């Protein structure tokens, strides 16, 4: 497992990679989340959900105001800001847990950081807005770079994922982002076939060649629904299987909806893989 990835500081907290698997709790402040858990514009519901995620064991809260499901439509910067900023301001004032802004728009990320966020999660891997890299460097916050194949064609999925992530890392470091502030995400579900997603998960360990922590997001995703023929709200066991396999293959952070249950999966997997269960 990862033992030489150093330490990343996020929101004043140390993430010592390789010691244990960290959990990123998903907070969708959208009306159209694919998983059916979006809280829309109800700030009090969002705050209550965030508290629940933290109580259940989330190490980071990932807040997104725009759905990333394949058939979703892009929303304006103004609308995205209206959704995420009030929630981030409240959470930053009331909780110590680090907050990640799930956005590929630099203006949204800038306002989020000014409001209390301390990580940028870019599902487009700097291919939509490279200014995110300069922003991460300027503000000294970690940057998650994802491999998104929605606008590309590939022959060999793992090679393409690694090449995409390496390109993003080069852009980030070229903009001044320290290596220790870069996290990579293979982008499960983003423009990949079912077979491609399964292969990425099976060969996740090959991403270790990039020398950065691996974030994995499989929670309730369509590949699980395709294999098990189940809707999003019945994909708990399928998610658990992917989380355990992901940790065995090198995942350092798992992004999940069901923190309580996945915390148990993580502890058990860490006991086997890392020799740690406390």
Are 112 and 80 in contact, with CB atoms under 8 Å apart? no
Strands 7-10 and 13-16: antiparallel
Distances (CA, A) of 71 to 2, 53, 85, 149, 191: 36, 27, 25, 15, 12
State the helix-helix crossing angle for 236-248 and 259-273, rounded to 10 degrees: 30
119-122: strand order across its sheet: 182-185, 143-146, 119-122, 99-102, 60-64, 22-28, 253-256, 215-216
Structure tokens at 162: 């690694």
- For residue 219, count other CB atoms closer than 10 A to its CB: 28
Annotated catalytic sites, by residue?
221, 255
Instruction: List, in order, residues 6 or more apart from 169 with CB less than 8 Å away.
Output: 145, 182, 184, 210, 212
């Amino acid at each position: 497992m990862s033992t030489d990835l150093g330490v990343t500081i996020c929101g004043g907290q140390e993430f010592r990679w390789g010691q244990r698997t960290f959990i990123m709790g998903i907070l969708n402040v959208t009306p159209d989340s694919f998983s059916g858990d979006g809280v829309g514009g109800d700030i009090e519901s969002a705050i209550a959900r965030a508290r629940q995620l933290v109580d259940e064991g989330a190490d980071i809260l990932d807040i997104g105001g725009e759905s990333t499901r394949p058939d979703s439509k892009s929303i304006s910067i103004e609308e995205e800001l209206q959704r995420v900023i009030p929630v981030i301001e409240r959470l930053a004032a009331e909780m110590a847990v680090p907050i990640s802004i799930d956005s590929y728009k630099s203006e949204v990320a800038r306002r989020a950081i000014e409001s209390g966020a301390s990580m940028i999660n870019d599902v487009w891997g700097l291919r939509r807005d490279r200014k995110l890299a300069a922003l991460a460097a300027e503000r000294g916050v970690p940057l998650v770079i994802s491999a998104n194949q929605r606008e590309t064609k590939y022959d060999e999925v793992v090679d393409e994922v690694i090449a995409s992530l390496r390109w993003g890392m080069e852009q980030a470091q070229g903009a001044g982002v320290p290596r220790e502030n870069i996290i990579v995400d293979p982008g499960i579900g983003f423009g990949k076939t079912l077979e491609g997603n399964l292969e990425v998960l099976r060969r996740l360990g090959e991403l270790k060649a990039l020398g950065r922590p691996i974030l994995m997001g499989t929670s309730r995703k369509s590949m699980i629904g395709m294999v098990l023929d189940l809707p999003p709200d019945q994909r708990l066991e399928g998610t658990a299987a992917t989380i355990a396999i992901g940790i065995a293959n090198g995942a350092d952070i798992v992004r999940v909806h069901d923190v309580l249950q996945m915390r148990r999966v993580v502890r058990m997997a860490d006991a086997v893989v890392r020799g740690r269960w406390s």
